[in-house]
Structure 1
C-alpha cells in the first residue's frame, strides 16, 4: 500500500486525516467491516429491548392476569437474551479478528519500508525507537478496532436507542433521569483530556525505555569492562521511574473518574425513584415504567462511562498511527529505479571525482578518482577516519554520493538494479554480525537456492570446513545472537563463506583479517589468493603484509588520495606515508 503524505494538521485532539489513513487498511476486509457495523447495530438494539419488554410484561400481562401472554413474553425474553449473547460474541470476535489482520498488514508494510531505508536513517535513529514503532505502537492499533471504533459506535447507538425507548415510555421520567447528564459529560471530557496526555507520556516513556535497554544490552561488555554498572543502573532507574509515573497518572485519573461517574449515576437513580414514587402514589406512573426506567438508567450510564475510555483507546491508537505514518512517509529510501541487471559483472570499477559526506559539509571523501580493471586487486591504506570504509559503502550503494560518479563496467552505479548489483559484490567486514539461528541460516540468509554442496565448496575454498565439521551438528549448529558462542576467527570465516556462496565478481575485504589469529590469517590469505584470481578485489587492511601483492595501493588521508602505486613503488617514496607505516610495522614484527 502506497502511503500518502501526512497532512499538516496531524497530531490534533482528534485527527480525521490520520483516521482515514488508518481506515484505508480496512479496504481488503470491507465485507467483514460492513458485517461488523450490522452486528454493532444489532447488539445495540437487542441490548435495549429487554427493559421495554419487561415494562410491557408488568403493566399488561401481570396487571391484567394474562398468563398466556406472560408465558409468551418470557419466551420472547429468553430468545432475546440468547440472540443478544450470540450477536455480542460475533461482534467481539470479528472486531478482534479485523484488528489483528490490520495489525499484521501495517507491521508488514512498516518492516518492508524499513528494509528500503538508507543506512543514514539508521545511523541517526535509535534502534529501540524503531522496535517500539514496529511492535508496541502497531499492537496498540488492534485495540482501535476491537475496543475503539466498533465498541464506541455501539455505545453511542445504545445511548440513542435507550433515550428513544425512555421517551416512548414516559417523557417526564426521561427528563428526570437525564438531569445528571451535564455534570457527567463535563467530568467525562476532563477525564478524556487528562488520560490522553498521560497515554502520550506513557508511549514516549516506553520508547525511551526500549531504546535504553536495547542499546545497553548490546553494549554490555563495554559497561562491565569500565565498571559502569552502578551508573548505568541509576540511569535506567530514572527512565523507569518516568515510565512508572506516567502510568500512575493515568491510574489516578481512572480512580477519580469512575467513582465520580458512579456517584452521579446513583444520584440519577435516586432522583428517578423519588419522582416516580410520587407518580405511583398519584397513579400517573405505572409500576412497569418504574422498573423499566431503573433498568434503563443502569444501561444508560454504563456506555457513557465507557465512551471516555473507548475514546482514549481510539486516541492512543491514532497517536501510534500518526507516528507509524510519519515513519512510513519517510522518503529517505534507497533509490531502486535502476533496471540494468546483467547476468554477470565484468568487474571494472571506476570512481570519478567523487565527493561524499554523511553530513554536509563535513566531507569524508574529497575528489576521489581511481580505476580498477577486471581481475585487478586494489588496496586502501590510511589512518582511522581516512575514508577507506566509506569507499566500500559507496560501491555497494549503502549511501549515495553528492558529487562525481561511480561506474561499474562503464555504467553509472545508479543505473543498476540494486539487488542484482549487490548480489555480485561479496563483502566481508571487520565487525561480523551473525543472527540467532543455524550456521546454514547465517550463510544462506534464507536463500533456499543455495545448496549444502555449494556451502561446503565455499567452506573448502576459505579453509572453514575443518572447524565447521567439528561443530555439533555442523551446518545445523545453533549460533547464538551475534555469534557469542564462536570465536572471532570462526565468525570471520563464516562471513567469508557467506560472501563466497554467491560467487561474486567483485570482492570487498574491509580489514577482514585484522581480528584473527596468525594461523587463521594464513588460511584466509591462502584462500584470498585463490578467490582473487579472475575477480576484482578491493581490500582494506591495517596489516601491510596482506596487501603487498596488490596491483595498486592507494594511501588515503582525511578523505584525499595522497599516494598511489605498487608496494615497491610506494616504498621508494622518501618520507612517504606508506613507507613510514611499513617500516613501523616491520620494526614491531622484528621485536
Structure 2
C-alpha cells in the first residue's frame, strides 16, 4: 500500500481532476471574470460618489452613466458565477464518480484475503460515506477556495492602483491570517482522520448487528452490542468534538484579523483623505476593498477546515483503491476443455504466517470421480475448496487441472469449469429469474424451468405471485433458508459445468426433499469430477473416494466400505453419527 499523507493525497486528487481540463480551464477563466467584475464595482461606486460635490452640484448624467456600467458588471458577475458553478459541479461529481468506479472495480479484483480480513461495513463506509464527504469538500474547494484566492490577489491589485501606501499596510497584516489558517488546518486534519476511521468502525458494527439480529436476540446479546456501540459512539463524539472545536476557532480568529485590517484602512485612508492624498470616493472604494479582501480569508479558513475532512476521507478511499489486486491473468491460458483430472502435489498453505493449515498435501483425482471430504471442524475441508477455486493461491506445491497448474490458467476459465453450491446461500435483489440465470445468461425459458424441476425448486416458485418474475429482496428476502438453497442448486443445474463442488449443499433442506436432491445430484454428477464436503456421512456413502482430513492432512482415504473395515478415524466419526441417530430414534 502506498503512503497516503496529506501532500500525497492532494496530488492524487489533482491527478484525477486533470481528466476535466476543459471544465477546469473554463472554471478558472470564469473565476477571474467574476473577481474582476466584482472588484471593479467599488471603483465605479467611488467615481459616482466623487460626482456628488454638494447641493445643486450633482452630475446626474455622469452618475446615470456610472450606474449603467455598475449594472453591466453585476450582470457579468451573475453570468460568470453561473458558468463557473456549472463547471465546478461537473468536475466534482465527475471526479467522485470516477473514484467510486475505481473503488468498486478494486473491490471486484481484491484478493479474498483482503475481504476476509476487513469488515464489510468499513469497506462500504469508504465507498459511500467517505466519497460523499470528499465530494462536499472538493465542491467547496472549487467554488470558494480558488475564487477566494483570486479575490485576495485582485483586491490587492486594485488597492495598489488607488494608493500603494495603504495597500502595503494591508499586505503586511496578511501573514497573520495565513498563520492562523495553517495552525487550524494542522490541528483539524488528524481529528477528522480519526473521525472518519471511527465512523467506518461504527458502520461495520451496525452492519454486523443488522445482519445478525436474530442470533443477537436469541442469545440475549443486545446489551453487549449496545455497550460496544456506546463505546465507539463515545470515541466518535470525542474526535468529532475536537475537530469541530479547532475548526470553530476559524471564524473568530479570522474576523479579528479582518477587523484589524479594516481599522488600519479606515484610519490611514481617513488621514490621507483629510490631507488630500485620496478623494472621498477613493476612500469609500478602499473601505469596500478592505471588506472584500478580508471576506475570502473567512471563507478560505472555513474551506480549509472542510478540506481537512475531505482529504482525510480521500486518504481512506485511496488506501482501498491502492490495495494489491489479485495477480493479473494477462497472458494466462484460457482453459477451454476440462477433462476433470485434478492433481495436488506437495501443497502447503496457511492463512497466516504463524499457523500452518495444510501441510504436504497430495491427491490424485481421476476424471469423473466423486471425492467426498470429511473431518472435524477446522481440518481444512473448506480451505481445500478455496484453493481449488483459486480464491487463495497455495504457498508451496501445485494444484493442476487437466495437467495445467491453476496459476497458469485464467480465473474466469477455471471458475467456468466449476459449479459450486455452498452452505451459506447468496441471492441478489431482483427477480427469481435474475438469480437463476447468473449461471447461464442466455438460457431459454424451457431450460430455466427444466433446471427448476430438476432442483425441486419449481414447486414453490410456481406458487409465488409472479413465478420466475417475482421480486425478492437482498439475500432472498422472505424466502426460507431451504428455498434459498434450492435456488442456488437450480443455478448449478442450469449451468451444468464439467466439475462440481458441493459444500454442505443440502444442509438447510428437509429430509424428504434432500433425498430427491441427492438423486438429482447423482444424475448431475454422472461423468463429472465432483468434490463433496459433508458432515452427515450418510450422504456420501456412494462417493468413489472419501478423504478423511485432520489438521490439514489426509488421515485416511478410500470408499465407504474400505474405511469402515479399516476401523480408523472415519469409523469413529460414522459410528458417532449412527449411534446418535439410533439413540434419537429409540427416544
Class of the TM-score when normalised by the shorter of the 2 chains: over 0.9
Output the CA distance in 2 between the equivalents of 1:19 and 1:275. Answer: 41
Instruction: Find the counterpart in structure 2 of residue 383 from structure 1.
Output: 376
Asked if 1:508 is matched to 2:537, the reply is: no
| TM score, norm. by length of structure 1 | 0.93
Instruction: Please list, as runs of the form range in 1=range in 2, the aligned pairs for 1:115-264 lying within 5 A after superposition.
Output: 115-149=108-142, 151-177=144-170, 180-264=173-257
Check the 8 A contact 2:170/2:264 in 1, yes or no. yes
Q: Does 1:75 align with 2:65?
A: no
Gaps of 5+ in 1: none
Question: Is the alpha carbon distance of 1:78 and 1:62 closer, same or farther for their aligned partners in structure 2, counting shifts above 3 Å?
Answer: farther
Residue 407 of structure 2 is aligned with which of 381, 406, 414? 414
Q: Which whole-Å CA distance do the structure 2 matches of 1:177 and 1:562 have between them?
A: 85
Q: Take 1:306 and 1:98, find their aligned partners in 2: how far apart are those partners?
A: 21
- CA–CA separation in structure 2 for the residues paired with 1:280 and 1:319: 49
Aligned to 2:462, the other structure's residue is in SS state: helix
Of 541-550 and 50-59, more deviation after overlay is shown by 50-59
Are the equivalent residues in 2 in contact too, given 1:178–1:268 (CA < 8 A)? Answer: no
- SS of the equivalent of 1:134 reads helix
Rounded to whole Å, the distance in 1 between the matches of 2:348 and 2:243 is: 52
SS state at 1:501 partner? helix
Closer, same or farther in 2 for the Cα pair 1:69/1:450, shift >3 Å?
farther
Which stretch of structure 1 is more off in the superposition, 393-402 or 133-142? 133-142
SS of residue matched to 2:547? strand
Q: Indicate the residue corresponding to 1:110 in structure 2.
A: 103
Alignment partner, residue 55 of structure 1: 46
In 2, Cα distance between equivalents of 1:182 and 1:543: 77
Further displaced range: 435-444 or 537-546: 435-444
Choose the corresponding residue for 2:573, options 575, 578, 581.
Answer: 581
**TM-score, length basis structure 2:** 0.93
What corresponds to 2:34 in structure 1? 43
Work out whether 1:405 is the aligned partner of 2:398.
yes
Post-superposition CA distance 1:110-158 (Å, at most 9, x none) = 1111111111111111212211221122223323542114632221111
Q: In structure 1, how many angstroms separate the alpha carbons of the residues matched to 2:163 and 2:329?
A: 69
**549-558 vs 150-159, greater mean Cα deviation:** 150-159
Note the C-alpha offset of 1:411.
1.1
- Between the aligned partners of 2:286 and 2:40, the Cα distance in structure 1 is 12
Q: Hey, what's the Cα distance between the residues in 1 that align with 2:119 and 2:90?
A: 32
Number of equivalences: 581
Instruction: Provide, for residues 311-358 of structure 1, a one-character-per-residue CA deviation record: whole Å limited to 9, x for no partner.
Output: 233333333333322322222524424632243422221211211111
CA distance in 2, matches of 1:581, 1:548: 13
Aligned residue for 2:548, secondary structure, equals strand
Residues 477-556 of structure 1 mapped to structure 2, 5 A cutoff? 477-556=470-549
Residues 473-512 of structure 1, C-alpha deviation per residue, up to 9 Å, x if partnerless? 2222232332241222111111111223222110110011
1:556 Cα deviation (Å)?
Answer: 0.8
Q: How does 1:294-309 map to 2 (within 5 A)?
A: 294-309=287-302
Deviations 1:555-585 (A, max 9, x none): 11111111111111111113x1112222222
* Displacement of 1:60: 4.9
Go from structure 1 to structure 2 and tell me whether the alpha carbon gap of 1:91 and 1:145 turns closer, same or farther (over 3 Å shift). Answer: farther
Aligned counterpart for 1:33 among listed residues 13, 24, 33: 24
Contact 1:570 1:578 in 2 (8 A): yes
Q: The residue matched to 1:470 in structure 2 has which SS?
A: coil
The question of 1:453 aligning with 2:446 is answered yes
In the superposition, relative to structure 1, how do residues 246 and 568 fare at CA in structure 2: closer, same or farther (>3 Å)? Answer: same
Shift of 1:298: 1.3
The root-mean-square deviation of aligned C-alpha atoms, in Å, is 2.2
Between 479-488 and 500-509, the greater mean CA deviation after superposition: 479-488
Unaligned runs of 5+ in 2: none
